[in-house]
Structure 1
Amino acid sequence: MSFFHKALASFGIGSATVDTRLEKDTYRAGEVMRGEIIVRGGQVEQQVDSIYLSINTTYVRESNDHKHTEVATLQKVKVTEPFTLAASEEKVIPISLTLPFETPISAGKTQVWIQTGLDIKNAVDPSDKDYIRVEPTSLAAQILDAIGRLGFRLREAECEQAPARFRGYYPFVQEFEFVPTGSFRGHLDELEMVFLSQSNHSAEILLQIDRKVRGIGSFFAEALEMDESYVRTTITLHDLPTLPEKFQQIISKHI
């Protein structure tokens, strides 16, 4: 009977299970996530080589005019050393994991989840998937708010594969696409922004200012993307009192 149960466990039937329980489901980028992993033994004793946690998201990669959805791992950590899990045994393992500053914000189509897995040789590895909501850092939130105060409305937010020259730790950036509804309406088609790097004290951003071209040659300007300007700048805590004015000046120079 034991051999039969072991055979079933190798296919994931009657095997160990894992369940991660976080203190909450909403976190700010850069915040420490705390909780516990509950591991329950199955019908037979099993050797667990490790338990790992990973923070994941998806991004869009374009290839040959086709869009593909890829999974990106922002961080992966090993939680335990090898151990033996007896049949029906329950283990509770406390965890803490820092959410990277570059974790995409929960906006638009963006999703972020915590994946927990048990590494068990010669068996289907049990896993658990928990989605979380990610809020921007305080600085990033004020940057987004400043753009909104200038009359820009967020139309879309999506993680896309980053060009090599703008690639940081990860193969993607989260792009925020805004449409002008205030004084820039009629001058710009759209404003796009990405966070290239972040900390509690500063954020490097890239603005793509898409001008609304008029008159003769406008078609060719758009075809050659001559109507777009790129501005790379760093925002610090010292900029916050005059942040809307700073963005106003940057954008006005390129219309």
Structure 2
Amino acid sequence: MFNRMLSAFGIGGPSVDTVLDSPYAVPGQAVTGQVRVQGGSADAEIGQVVLSLVTEAEGDHAAEFSRLVVRQGVRVPAGELVAIPFQLPLPWETPITAVGGSPLPRMAVGVRTELVIAGAPDKGDLDPVQVGPLPAQNKVLDAFGQLGFSFRDTGVEAGRAPGVAQELGLRQTLRFAPPAQYAGRVDEVELTFVAGPHELCVLLAADRRDGVFSPGGDTSGQFRLSHQEAQVTDWASLISGWLAQAAERRQVNPAFGGQPAYGQPGYGAHQGYDHPGQQQRGPGMGGMLAAGAAGVVGGVVLGEVAEEIFGDDE
């Protein structure tokens, strides 16, 4: 994206430019491309070529969540171009930065290039990657749009959700205003995905208190399904049923008995939900974001979003 001189070599030293084959990806895929090092006025030795994935986290700082040493011991002859191909896997829990082609406000993921020279890192360019949802995640997001939720915002928080195995030490939350019929009973619903190679865990929380999920609590829900199950589940019915019971429990908090209920441990965990749900018609998440985020994003292109978020970090 940007051809940068390597400061460790001073004026006349080599420069680095990372070129991605595509700036679009989904979690679990690999971002591919080349790190191109253009030789300067003299031969140069580079100890390591390192790529990392970074995102904007709470506290307005760039949080690194994956790191890969692409090549060690690279000699760059004067005036010559050395191209180093790479495959950088995106973790399954990589934050989503766009849905249906609409960027999420204040969300970005970037590939940062570092060249380690004489034991010290020298930052290269930072290239944005637009991360879309997995097909199973898209089914859940579409259900939110169909049910009449209004998208508010999203962010990345440090820490792990209790009771859920996670690879990364951070999680993304998407916040929604509930459908109009719940006004006065539920102010906000938070959605968090924890994806893996074989299954998707969907965490829901109504009016989450103290910034903490409470699995099995009065207004929390946890649903764990395989990717195949999640793609044929009637999420609109599932989420609507959970929200209705969450709203009721906020008022009367009845004791549970008998079979696991919405939000209790065991509900939705490996119990199937493999019945094909009829796809409901509605605006979907992409349309909801296009309307809700337009005033925040205002047509800002991918590179400009990343520059705004990561500009001070480069």
Equivalence for 1:234: 224
Structure with the higher fraction of residues in strand conformation: 1
Residues 72 and 123 of structure 1, relative CA distance in 2, 3 Å threshold: closer
- 1:126-165 matched pairs, under 5 angstroms: 126-162=123-159, 165=162
Compare CA radii of gyration and give the structure with the larger one.
1
Q: Residues 106-127 of structure 1: CA distance to partner in whole angstroms, max 9, x if unpaired?
A: 1221111001121111777251
Equivalence for 2:90: 99
Is the counterpart of residue 169 in structure 1 residue 161 in structure 2? Answer: no
1:136 shift after superposition: 0.8
* Unpaired runs of at least 5, structure 2: 1-5, 98-103, 211-216, 248-314
Count of aligned positions: 229
Q: Residues 174-224 of structure 1: CA distance to partner in whole angstroms, max 9, x if unpaired?
A: 1110002343334321111111x213552112211129xxxxxxxxx99xx
Task: Measure, in 2, the Cα distance between the counterparts of 1:138 and 1:132.
Answer: 18
Q: TM-score, normalised by structure 2?
A: 0.65
Task: Measure, in 2, the Cα distance between the counterparts of 1:9 and 1:44.
Answer: 14
**RMSD, aligned CA:** 2.8
* Equivalent residue letter for 1:69: D
- 1:6-85 matched pairs, under 5 angstroms: 10=8, 12-60=10-58, 68-85=59-76
Any conservation in 1 of the 2:21–2:32 contact (CA below 8 Å)? yes
* Equivalent residue letter for 2:205: Q
- Which 10-residue stretch deviates more, 72-81 or 132-141? 72-81
Residues 73 and 16 of structure 1, relative CA distance in 2, 3 Å threshold: same
Select 2:113's aligned residue among 112, 116, 120.
116
Any conservation in 1 of the 2:160–2:166 contact (CA below 8 Å)? no
- Which 10-residue stretch deviates more, 115-124 or 97-106? 115-124
Equivalence for 2:181: 183
* Unpaired runs of at least 5, structure 1: 1-7, 61-67, 212-220
Equivalence for 1:63: none
Task: Measure, in 2, the Cα distance between the counterparts of 1:202 and 1:122.
Answer: 40
Task: Measure, in 1, the Cα distance between the counterparts of 2:83 and 2:130.
Answer: 24
Partner secondary structure for residue 193 of structure 1: strand
Partner secondary structure for residue 42 of structure 1: coil
Any conservation in 2 of the 1:47–1:83 contact (CA below 8 Å)? yes
Identity %: 28
1:167 shift after superposition: 7.7
Task: Measure, in 2, the Cα distance between the counterparts of 1:201 and 1:142.
Answer: 16
Q: TM-score, normalised by structure 1?
A: 0.79
Task: Measure, in 2, the Cα distance between the counterparts of 1:55 and 1:193.
Answer: 23
